Structure 1
Amino acid sequence: MVSARVFAVAPPALAILALSGCSSWGCTDTTAERGKAAARVQVVDTYGQPLHVTASVVDWRLEPHPQVPAEGDWVHFRFRFDGADAYSFDPAVDACAVDSRRVVVGCQTVFSSEAFGPADDPLTGDHWLAVDRPEQVAAVLLIPNDQSYDRPTCERDIKDGGGMHPPEPPGSGDRL
């Protein structure tokens, strides 16, 4: 027979375990759905809500990277963030080079704080993207999901992890 003493101690003990992070009952990871890629996007948070920041590809071209010209052509693209305040938050989006069927040939994340262009256009920045077959590149597109917030996962931190995470960056061969 179980004593009344066990019933009196069990609920507080379980509450202490749950509050101390020793319980995984409350930790769940959720991944946001990837937004539609375009040359100009409204940046959204992990819940799909607009951040009032617009990111756009200003232009792009294929040319040898000046530091490694022997490697052949790279994708050199310029981007712009409108509405971002680098002092309060630093939104980031994935920029992907795609072929004519919108199949990814390479991606990288660009942050609004990297947009510190010339005085006549300080909201612009540029990046170089190495791809295996540069002749296949037909466009550079941006994915609207903010990639700047790296929340810990339940696996890494059972106590403070979990919640909504940005979608995984697309890999070569994914269609946007």
Structure 2
Amino acid sequence: MKWLANLLPVGLLAALASAAPIVERQLDLYQLQISCPGNKNVDGRFLALQNNTLGVFDGDNVAPVQVYPVDSEKEGCNELHTYPVGIVDHSIALLGPPGLLTLVDMMNPRTIQPGDGTIAQWDTFRIADGKLANDADGQWLAFPDGRGSWKVKWSDGSAVITADFMIVDVLYKSVGEGRYNGI
């Protein structure tokens, strides 16, 4: 009977712990908007995701990508993770050959080993004055695909590219808060 008296407090503690509220963390959410006053086809439109590539896409099922910032290990830089948060970590990244990197959605970016001649950057975004940039020198470019869609890339000016691009800014727009269950 004495052992039962010793187990009673343990059972009570376990019941109270299981009734505790789930801890949630608030996330500041943002959307990425194109600014290109010279081209009304892309100006003011939000970046969406199609086949792991970010850009401006036409269609009924196109929803703007929502991201939340995480401090990068690189001084003054951020990682941009996509929302809603899932089991698999997704981050916005720049991927491709040196000189012209495509803005993409990358799963588990810390595990990616790019192939020869390919660069993968997910932790080098800089956010200043409401604009998104990369840590390296360069600028955002939007390339048409011929069907009313535009893919967004980062150019450092060293790549040979077609002449059908538009120079754009990528604006960083707040859309409120989301919840992340950290348990």
TM-score, length basis structure 2: 0.27
Provide the TM-score with structure 1 as the length reference: 0.28
Higher relative contact order (CA 8 A, sep 6+): 1
Structure whose residues are more often strand by fraction:
2
